[in-house]
Amino acid sequence: MSHGNARTTVHGRKLIVQRHAAGWEKAHIAAAMGVSRKCVRKWISRFEAEGEAGLVDRSSRPHTSPTRTPAAVEDRIVELRSQERRGPDWIGAELGVPARTVSRVLARREQPRLSALDPMTGAVIRSSKQTATRYERTRPGELVHMDVKKLGRIPDGGGWRAHGRAAGSTSRDRATRVGYDYVHSLVDDHSRLAYSEVLPDEKGTTCAAFLTRAAAYFAAHGITSIQRVMTDNAWAYKYSLREVIAALGARQKFIRPHCPWQNGKVERLNRTLVTEWAYRQVFTSNDERAAALAPWIEHYNTRRRHSALGGLPPISRLAPT
């Protein structure tokens, strides 16, 4: 197929050759076809050298590309994408190349988008539903997002990640009750500052106490006023946060039922928690994993690059305290 600005097609080029063979002057052919005489000479010369095969579209890519990214760097980009499952901003900063170059290399190597990959295994899966409307509040504390992520507890001595699936799964042994942890999180919409705790349940009193501690953490980092708290429609959020939210001088905002993407910033944090904290390394006990959460949150807020913030950490959008 010819490109969008081409004045001729393969049929038109054959017509140029036929008219030249019939004795037409090249200038007359150019005027009749609405092209330049140089274009007419080009297609006649190609036909004389290659026959009809010379009239077929060919790539406009140059024969040599002296400034193209070296193959070793491209291989490293693909390797980091496969191992870390990170975006162009992170990979570019690690390798010292522009993020746009990373994007082009990934496209040239036909690497799938992160949204099409399973965050745990890297296998290609069908992308989840996304919203076309993106928003960001203009000030810290104007809107915060709250949610809970449920995680299976790790048995003492480690689970299948430590010993392999061949050792058996505790979920198949009904005598072994491992249970679940509940990771409560709060994220500021503007700065993406986050606070998370591992708690034993998601009851109303637990959620209310967590929100109080999270608000104190935000205040210590410069977000002294919270105006709105966005949650899903869980019972604990609907009926147990009213007093705490009123004490904060805020209002509660609920997402539309069955539309978790409206609370997308904390949902994205949940995914990051799973991939970079809960399952990034092998833990031999549940307490060991829980103890690693606070240092990771500190890393997330102060050092981890955030693509939505131009490659800067959330703390960069907050005034020094």
If one counts every other C-beta atom within 10 angstroms of the C-beta of residue 219, the result is: 15
Two tokens, residue 235? 């019972």
Higher-pLDDT residue of 116 and 292 is 292
Domain boundaries, the chain: 10-55, 71-116, 144-317
User: How far is Cα 270 from Cα 268, in angstroms, rounded to an integer?
Assistant: 5
User: How far is Cα 280 from Cα 278, in angstroms, rounded to an integer?
Assistant: 6
pTM of the model: 0.64
Please determine, for residue 126, whether its predicted confidence score (pLDDT) is greater than 70.
no
Structural contact between residues 114 and 120, judged by C-beta atoms closer than 8 angstroms = no
Please determine, for residue 40, whether its predicted confidence score (pLDDT) is greater than 70.
yes
Q: In terms of DSSP bridges, do strands 180-188 and 194-199 run parallel, antiparallel, or are they unpaired?
A: antiparallel
Please determine, for residue 307, whether its predicted confidence score (pLDDT) is greater than 60.
yes
Q: Which CATH superfamily is domain 144-317 in?
A: Ribonuclease H-like superfamily/Ribonuclease H (3.30.420.10)
Q: Which of 62-71, 122-131, 136-145, 167-176 has the lowest mean pLDDT?
A: 167-176
What integer pLDDT is reported at residue 162 of this predicted model? Answer: 62
Alpha helices in the chain (DSSP H): 10-21, 26-33, 37-50, 71-84, 88-95, 99-108, 160-163, 204-220, 235-240, 242-247, 264-273, 286-291, 293-302
What integer pLDDT is reported at residue 161 of this predicted model? Answer: 65
How sure is the predictor about 182, in pLDDT bands with cuts at 50, 70 and 90? Answer: very high
Nearest to 154 by CA among 279, 294, 298: 279
pLDDT digits (tens, 9 = 90+) for 131-162: 556 778 999 999 999 999 999 888 877 766 66
Please determine, for residue 39, whether its predicted confidence score (pLDDT) is greater than 80.
yes
How sure is the predictor about 125, in pLDDT bands with cuts at 50, 70 and 90? Answer: confident
In the block, tokens 């077929």 appear at: 56
Higher-pLDDT residue of 32 and 64 is 32
114-140: buried (b, 16+ CB within 10 Å) or exposed (e) per residue? Answer: eeebeeeeeeeeeeeeeeeeeeeeeeb
Q: Mean pLDDT across the stretch 236-248?
A: 92
Two tokens, residue 163? 């010993």
What integer pLDDT is reported at residue 136 of this predicted model? Answer: 86
Two tokens, residue 167? 């050792």
Nearest to 43 by CA among 93, 90, 9, 88: 9
Two tokens, residue 57? 């579209």
What's 80's DSSP letter?
H
What's 261's DSSP letter?
G
Structural contact between residues 155 and 178, judged by C-beta atoms closer than 8 angstroms = yes
What integer pLDDT is reported at residue 157 of this predicted model? Answer: 74
Two tokens, residue 253? 């905002």
What integer pLDDT is reported at residue 166 of this predicted model? Answer: 58
What's 274's DSSP letter?
I
Please determine, for residue 228, whether its predicted confidence score (pLDDT) is greater than 70.
yes
What integer pLDDT is reported at residue 123 of this predicted model? Answer: 79
What integer pLDDT is reported at residue 57 of this predicted model? Answer: 86
